[in-house]
Structure 1
Amino acid sequence: MATILVVDDEVVFCELLKTLLKGHGHDVLTANNGRQALELFKQHRPRFTMLDLRMPQM
């Protein structure tokens, strides 16, 4: 299945999405700020990114 990057400054929301998406067979990466998200994106090239647009360091 697809690798998905979930980016949100709310850790609980990231973990919730991670659990749901993993339950459907996806590999899930999480980041809690923009810098971390960019590093993960460069390293793993996920197929999809779910992104909170209103968060620090974006």
Structure 2
Amino acid sequence: MPRGDKSAYTDKRKRQAEHIEESELDRGHTREQAERIAWATVNKQDGGGKTSGSGRKRARH
């Protein structure tokens, strides 16, 4: 997956980033800055892209 590829993010995370980006544009940031801030915020909240659905490894017992 190349850098900047957002395919690993769930639809919910993509929607969150869109809303944050819109807010940052309203604050006067350029589109590039707003997008960067939006994804940084989503990553900070979520810890990075996760696969859709459960997508997380189970702990071995």
Which of the pair is proportionally richer in helix? 2
Which of the pair is proportionally richer in strand? 1
Q: Which one has the largest radius of gyration? A: 2
Give the TM interval when normalised to the shorter protein.
0.3 to 0.5
